[in-house]
């Protein structure tokens, strides 16, 4: 049997798809200067996110706000982020990835400071809406930036290391949130609300410091993006577009984007029923203490980080599509276990059981995220990546807002079980659709 070798250009292209010799660390060492600075940036940025996720809803409950108000805030944030996502994708293309990070993260830190300093209901509804818009700018900038600052053979590794480091930062923030307020309250003899605020102040300070490496990023336009922009410029000169046609002018693969959007809608709706309210479930549903909640969230972050670092190995063994499918599918039973934990455990052990299930769900489902992000960037045209990310964020935030509002209403009525059943069903549907849509598109 004689093998016909492809022409030299084909060999080069095929070779570019293969990992370099040396494996995992060889690909990590190949990260560009911009990619390394970005990794430093996300460490500080996600530290406050970890603190915020544990503390802020507890802070609102301590101020006397009900779960219904928390659900309303989630809905407002979701709608604001959804409305802003597509325009922010266009803005990110226009001002560049560096400016997108600085403006998005700097504005988000300022809005976090406004919220933690206020107990006014109006401020606590308006500020998170503005914060969600800044967050949308960061979100739609992130994946295109990593796609543009990495070669295809190292892309999964960059997404994986990024997810791992940001998750470890969130874990540190969760630990800080679980123990620092209690320590501050005891040392300074202050009320719990004030202790919550002081703990968040420390996180916000680190958030601002994380802007330093973002300021050091250099402008980088890879060849594929430059060529795509020249192509788009010629097309625009021949056929100028206005209105909505101009907003979506960069879209080249509407069917692929539509499939990702449908999957995102199901997953985000399911997540909204539970994830933004997970600390409320632990506090009100199973009566966990702050340090138990902090330890649980930190444990989830630790194992999620380990999973993110291992994602390239899983993708190499199973392939991108099947690794995404199997890890997401394996997480579904643990979603149900969290919701059923009050019925399956004694009051003394319920926090341990729910925490164990939470950690496994978080690890398994999110292990696929860096692989999924890299896979999506590979399928999309360079010019449509930010727009597609914006569309996905828009739909995802709307669905998350709807789920958060409905989940909060159920929990306010004392039903802490149904939201987990809904989440499990929607996660299962989204995972099966992903397999149906993309099982033949591994290469």
The string of pLDDT tens digits covering residues 247-269 is: 566 677 888 889 999 999 999 99
* pLDDT for 330 beyond 90: yes
Neighbours of 55 (CB within 10 A): 29
* pLDDT for 220 beyond 90: no
* pLDDT for 287 beyond 50: yes
pLDDT band at 244 (very low <50, low <70, confident <90, very high): low
Query: What is the Cα–Cα distance from 84 to 94, expressed in whole angstroms?
Result: 15
**What 3-state DSSP class applies to 348?**
coil
Which pLDDT value is given to residue 127? 93
Q: Are the C-beta atoms of 255 and 404 separated by less than 8 Å? A: no
Q: Which of 257, 260, 250, 18 is nearest to 155 (CA)?
A: 18
Which pLDDT value is given to residue 13? 39
The DSSP code for 405 is H
* pLDDT for 30 beyond 50: yes
Geometric angle at alpha carbon 56, from 386 and 44, rounded to 5°:
50
Q: Residue 140 corresponds to which tokens in the numbers above? A: 């739609």
pLDDT per position as a tens digit, 209-218: 888 888 888 7
More confident residue, 271 or 86: 271
Task: Tell if the pTM clears 0.95, that is, is over it.
Answer: no
Query: What is the Cα–Cα distance from 324 to 67, expressed in whole angstroms?
Result: 34
Instruction: Please give the distance of CA 128 from its chain centroid, rounded to a whole number.
Output: 17
**What 3-state DSSP class applies to 287?**
coil
Angle between helices 97-116 and 67-95 (to 10 degrees): 160
What lies within 8 Å, CB to CB, of 156 at 6+ separation is 311, 312, 315, 320, 370, 371, 374
In 303-388, beta strands by DSSP E: none
Phi, psi (rounded to 5 degrees) for 391: -60, -45
* pLDDT for 236 beyond 70: no
The mean pLDDT of 156-185, rounded to a whole number, is 79
In 201-351, beta strands by DSSP E: none
Query: What is the Cα–Cα distance from 67 to 184, expressed in whole angstroms?
Result: 26
Query: What is the Cα–Cα distance from 135 to 390, expressed in whole angstroms?
Result: 11
List, in order of start, the domains of the chain with CATH numbers. 30-218+252-438 (1.20.1250.20)
pLDDT band at 160 (very low <50, low <70, confident <90, very high): confident
pLDDT per position as a tens digit, 180-218: 888 888 888 888 888 888 887 877 887 788 888 888 887
Q: Are the C-beta atoms of 379 and 143 separated by less than 8 Å? A: no
**What 3-state DSSP class applies to 413?**
coil
pLDDT per position as a tens digit, 84-114: 877 887 788 788 778 888 888 888 888 988 9
What is the CB-side half-sphere exposure of residue 75 using CA atoms within 13 A? 13
Q: What percent of the chain has pLDDT over 90?
A: 19
More confident residue, 238 or 397: 397
Q: Which of 24, 3, 54, 100 is nearest to 275 (CA)?
A: 54
Q: Are the C-beta atoms of 177 and 162 separated by less than 8 Å? A: no
* pLDDT for 276 beyond 60: yes
- What's the whole-number average pLDDT of the chain? 80
């Amino acid at each position: 049997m004689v093998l016909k070798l492809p022409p030299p250009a084909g060999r080069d292209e095929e070779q570019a798809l293969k990992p370099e010799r040396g494996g995992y660390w060889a690909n990590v060492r190949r990260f560009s200067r911009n990619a390394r600075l970005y990794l430093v940036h996300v460490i500080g940025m996600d530290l406050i996110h970890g603190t915020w996720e544990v503390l802020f809803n507890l802070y609102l409950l301590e101020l006397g706000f009900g779960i219904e108000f928390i659900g309303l805030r989630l809905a407002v944030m979701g709608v604001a982020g959804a409305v802003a996502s597509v325009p922010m994708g266009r803005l990110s293309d226009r001002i560049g990835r560096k400016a997108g990070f600085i403006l998005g993260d700097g504005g988000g830190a300022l809005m976090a400071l406004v919220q933690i300093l206020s107990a006014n209901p109006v401020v606590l509804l308006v500020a998170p809406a503005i914060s969600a818009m800044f967050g949308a700018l960061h979100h739609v900038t992130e994946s295109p930036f990593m796609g543009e600052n990495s070669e295809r053979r190292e892309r999964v590794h960059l997404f994986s290391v990024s997810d791992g480091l940001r998750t470890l930062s969130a874990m540190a923030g969760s630990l800080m949130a679980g123990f620092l307020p209690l320590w501050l309250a005891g040392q300074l003899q202050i009320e719990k609300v004030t202790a919550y605020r002081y703990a968040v102040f420390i996180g916000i300070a680190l958030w601002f410091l994380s802007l330093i490496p973002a300021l050091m990023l250099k402008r980088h336009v890879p060849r594929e993006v430059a060529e795509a922009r020249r192509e788009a410029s010629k097309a625009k000169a021949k056929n100028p577009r206005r209105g909505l046609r101009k907003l979506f002018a960069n879209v080249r693969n509407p069917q692929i984007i539509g499939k990702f959007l449908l999957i995102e809608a199901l997953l985000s709706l399911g997540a909204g029923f539970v994830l933004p309210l997970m600390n409320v479930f632990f506090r009100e549903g199973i009566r966990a203490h702050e340090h138990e909640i902090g330890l649980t969230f930190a444990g989830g972050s630790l194992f999620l980080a380990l999973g993110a670092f291992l994602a390239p190995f899983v993708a190499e063994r199973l392939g991108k599509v099947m690794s995404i499918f199997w890890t997401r599918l394996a997480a579904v039973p643990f979603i149900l276990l969290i919701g059923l934990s009050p019925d399956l455990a004694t009051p003394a052990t319920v926090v341990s059981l729910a925490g164990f299930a939470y950690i496994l769900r978080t690890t398994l489902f999110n292990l696929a995220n860096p692989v999924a992000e890299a896979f999506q960037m590979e399928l999309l045209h360079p010019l449509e990546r930010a727009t597609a990310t914006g569309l996905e964020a828009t739909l995802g935030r709307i669905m998350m807002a709807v789920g958060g509002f409905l989940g909060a209403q159920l929990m306010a009525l004392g039903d802490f079980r149904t939201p987990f059943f809904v989440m499990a069903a929607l996660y299962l549907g989204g995972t099966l659709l992903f397999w149906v849509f993309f099982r033949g598109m591994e290469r």
